[in-house]
A and B are shown apart, each in its own frame.
Chain A
């Protein structure tokens, strides 16, 4: 198993990549706010936003296919939204054959708007993270006054995430390899659970022990609780352009 890559597109370079992460994070927040304010049934607005986000992704050299795959994650909630056309009262458009369940017009409008709003939002958010290093994003969190202990925990978690996931995958593969019956058919639930608990517990113990070792090694190199970074950002006038655009878009959406 090759190590998982979490941010496959940050290594490419574009105008969007070079912007200050603080500016990108703040602007994304403003734009998401604007998307959340789109009223139900504003189909033209949704279409404009979709075009805007896709252009933004183009500017960031992000492959369209990968971006769309990311957006599938909101799926469980989207499936929930499919219940709305039946639940919201209003003019009945059509009835489900045989069952007689009514599909109402306001329900369809509400569900459609909800799905589009979630989809445009997730595309926006994915564009931000695809063109920014996670380390830089975490740095901008700290610059935006998130407590440094919390950011340090995130930093550690991110740094040891690949190892933990690989370790977990290895353990599951090892169990498959030495079990005659990998799917566990006919094995009592009790035994399977004990095996699962052993694996999870081992994973936790290894993680905690690794934490001890890492900490000892860091202290030996002069760790005093603060994390030092190589990258420095300076907020340029070009960076200022992003949040200004964000505020303008938000104002336009708000006032219309």
Chain B
């Protein structure tokens, strides 16, 4: 068996069509941005390097390494790719991996491919890279700093992907949030620990063998800020979307918990009403209207993030 199913590759049918569409939109925008950003710094030489790195990460995902206690290590690789070639090039590498996995093995669906690219390609690479850089700066000049930063970055990257997946499943009404978040994050706390350890030891080996390798990924300070903007934007969109179901009539898990606890009336009053009484005549059910409301709000936020990112790009590099 070449493809090993991990609970991060969303299959088709688990997300509502509206949310899947939003995922495609987000993925297209971020990947386009990645192509533009890397186009400035990368020559044609880097295309073959990114391709080979994608092939290697795919291989490392496909066959597990046996580690102690009969368990096996499994590398997702988003954080590692971002650390090695930089976050934006890392997004392109991981996008290639995710799309190929879907096309070759149907590991991850086609309709939900946008979210798979965001969860496993963008969020893992960006969160892993940000945490890695932040941790490394906390211990400047220490020899073990890169090792520790790889451990924490790898771990956080997987947890971020898992958290985003749980939120998307809740937004589609597939799994209630209070079921999805604990299940996804606890399983991935373990998987993420494996990811962090493998990332750390691989970085340790590469530091010892070829220290010059890290110039590409760690050199450009400008990338750090634009990555922060986009990561914050995507997470904000998810958080905002999370508020939206409160505004709809959809009986979801949260309301069920509320009815159990006897504060049914409280739950009817949304804590934050987004686009109140928003309904589109063509769309019949409440869920679709909510999704459209989410879409509009997201576009707004994305636009803000876009201009923010542009502002940092035109600023003189320090």
23 intermolecular pairs with C-beta atoms under 8 Å apart: A33-B111, A73-B3, A77-B11, A80-B175, A83-B179, A122-B11, A125-B102, A155-B51, A156-B50, A161-B59, A169-B63, A193-B67, A193-B201, A194-B204, A196-B198, A196-B201, A199-B65, A200-B60, A200-B202, A205-B213, A207-B53, A207-B55, A225-B47
Q: 0/1 per residue, B3-15, Cβ < 8 Å to A?
A: 1011101111111
B110 surroundings in chain A (CB, below 8 A): 28-29, 32, 125
Dominant secondary structure at the B interface? helix
Given contacts A184-B68, A211-B49, A212-B49, contact A197 B97 (CB under 8 A): no
User: In the complex, which residues 100-120 of chain B have their Cβ closer than 8 Å to any Cβ of chain A?
Assistant: 100, 102-107, 109-111
Candidates B55, B66, B206; contact of A183 at CB < 8 Å: B66
Contact with B along A208-248 (1 / 0, CB 8 A): 10111011001100011100000000000000000000000
Tell me if A114 is interfacial: C-beta within 8 Å of chain B. Answer: yes
B38 proximal to A (CB < 8 A): yes
Q: Taking the complex as formed, is A94 at the interface, i.e. its CB lies under 8 A from any CB of chain B?
A: no
B51 pairs with A197, CB closer than 8 A: no
Contact of A150 with B7 in the complex, beta carbons under 8 Å: no
A150 touches B14 (CB 8 A): no
A30–chain B nearest beta-carbon distance, Å: 10
**B106–A204 contact, CB under 8 A?**
no
Point out the residues of chain B lying under 8 angstroms from A156, CB to CB.
47-48, 50-52, 54-55
B99 and A154 form a contact (CB under 8 A): yes
Interface string of B89-103 (1 = CB under 8 A from A): 000110111011011
Q: A83-B179, A84-B175 are in contact. Are A150 and B92 (CB under 8 A)?
A: yes
Q: In whole angstroms, how far apart are the Cα atoms of A224 and B45 in the complex? A: 10
Does B52 contact A73, Cβ atoms closer than 8 Å? no
Q: Is A204 in contact with B202, judged by CB distance below 8 angstroms? A: yes
| Bound-state Cα–Cα, A71 to B105, Å | 9
B-chain residues with CB within 8 Å of residue A37 when the two chains form the complex: 17
Chain B residues at the A interface, C-beta cutoff of 8 Å: 2-3, 5-7, 9-17, 20, 31-32, 35, 38-39, 44-45, 47-56, 58-60, 62-63, 65-68, 70, 73, 75, 84, 92-93, 95-97, 99-100, 102-107, 109-111, 174-176, 179, 183, 197-198, 200-206, 209-210, 213, 253, 256, 259
Q: With a 10 A CB-CB cut-off, give which of A194, A196, A212 has the most chain B CB atoms.
A: A196
Smallest CB–CB gap between B209 and chain A, Å?
Answer: 7
Pick from A138, A149, A189, A224: contact of B92, CB under 8 Å: A149
User: Besides the contacts A153-B93, A207-B56, A215-B45, what 17 more A-B pairs have beta carbons closer than 8 Å?
Assistant: A4-B2, A32-B110, A32-B111, A74-B11, A76-B5, A77-B7, A120-B13, A121-B111, A134-B104, A154-B100, A157-B54, A159-B51, A164-B55, A201-B206, A203-B56, A208-B52, A219-B44
Contact, CB under 8 Å: A184 / B14: no
Q: Which residue of A lies closest to B56 (CB)?
A: A207
Contacts of A87 in B (CB 8 A): 175-176, 179, 253
A138–B96 alpha-carbon span in the complex (Å): 11
A255 to B297, CA, bound (A): 28
Given A32-B109, A36-B12, A149-B92, A208 contacting B39 (CB threshold 8 A): no
Question: How many inter-chain contacts with C-beta < 8 Å in the A-B complex?
Answer: 260
The reply to whether A73 and B5 contact each other, CB–CB distance below 8 Å, is yes
The A interface, classified by DSSP as helix, strand, loop or mixed, is helix
Q: Which residue of A lies closest to B111 (CB)?
A: A32
Cβ–Cβ < 8 Å partners of B68 in chain A: 184, 187, 189, 192
Instruction: Give B96 Cβ to nearest chain A Cβ, in Å.
Output: 4
A209 CB, nearest partner CB in chain B, Å: 9
Q: Are A168 and B60 in contact (CB under 8 A)?
A: yes
Q: Contacts A29-B110, A197-B202, A208-B49; is A154 near B11 (CB within 8 Å)? A: no
Q: Which residues of B contact A152 (CB under 8 A)?
A: 47, 51
Closest Cβ of chain B to A38, distance in Å, is: 9
Which residues from B are CB-within-8-Å of A208?
Answer: 49, 52-53, 213
